[in-house]
């Protein structure tokens, strides 16, 4: 029973950062979408300040995509870092991977209308989010595939 509770705490921490793997030292220093942080998240962030890291003994990777949106934004200088409201928007829309936003061959960014059609169960109310507008303006995807 303890291992089940422990795994749930680990996964909760992972989802607070909205990343497909357990948070690394770099992830722990980034913004998270939740105003509420679990005890484990707060402890990991505190230990990270002292260069102490922890890794779970089990695989907590989320499969379903190649490149997480959070790491994509962090790796491109022309894109601003995702804010906590951007991460919350991604979480509500159930979008974690760039594969969910691009064409099947990965050569171009889908339109917001196409993204909404691909995931009808998610919460797509309101205008096009700012993080998606940043991707549209940057044209990074088309430039990388050329």
Q: Does residue 104 or residue 94 have the better pLDDT?
A: 94
Res 76 pLDDT > 90 = no
| pLDDT the model gives residue 106 | 81
Using alpha carbons, list the distances in angstroms from residue 23 to 68, 77, 81, 129.
12, 21, 17, 25
Name the nearest CA neighbour of 81 among 72, 91, 93, 92. 72
Give me 69's structure tokens: 């949106």
Cβ distance 55 to 22 under 8 Å? Answer: yes
Domain boundaries, the chain: 2-49, 69-145
Q: What is the pTM of this model?
A: 0.79
């Amino acid at each position: 029973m303890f291992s089940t509770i422990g795994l749930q705490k680990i996964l909760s921490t992972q989802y607070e950062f909205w990343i497909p793997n357990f948070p690394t030292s770099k992830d722990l220093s980034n913004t998270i979408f939740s105003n509420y942080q679990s005890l484990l998240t707060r402890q990991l962030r505190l230990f990270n300040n002292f260069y102490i890291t922890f890794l779970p003994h089990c695989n907590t990777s989320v499969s379903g995509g190649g490149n997480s949106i959070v790491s994509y934004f962090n790796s491109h200088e022309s894109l601003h870092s995702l804010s906590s409201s951007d991460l919350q928007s991604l979480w509500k829309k159930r979008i974690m991977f760039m594969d969910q936003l691009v064409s099947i061959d990965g050569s171009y960014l889908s339109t917001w209308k196409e993204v909404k059609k691909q995931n009808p169960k998610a919460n797509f109310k309101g205008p096009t989010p700012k993080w998606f507008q940043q991707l549209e303006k940057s044209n990074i995807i088309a430039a990388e595939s050329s």
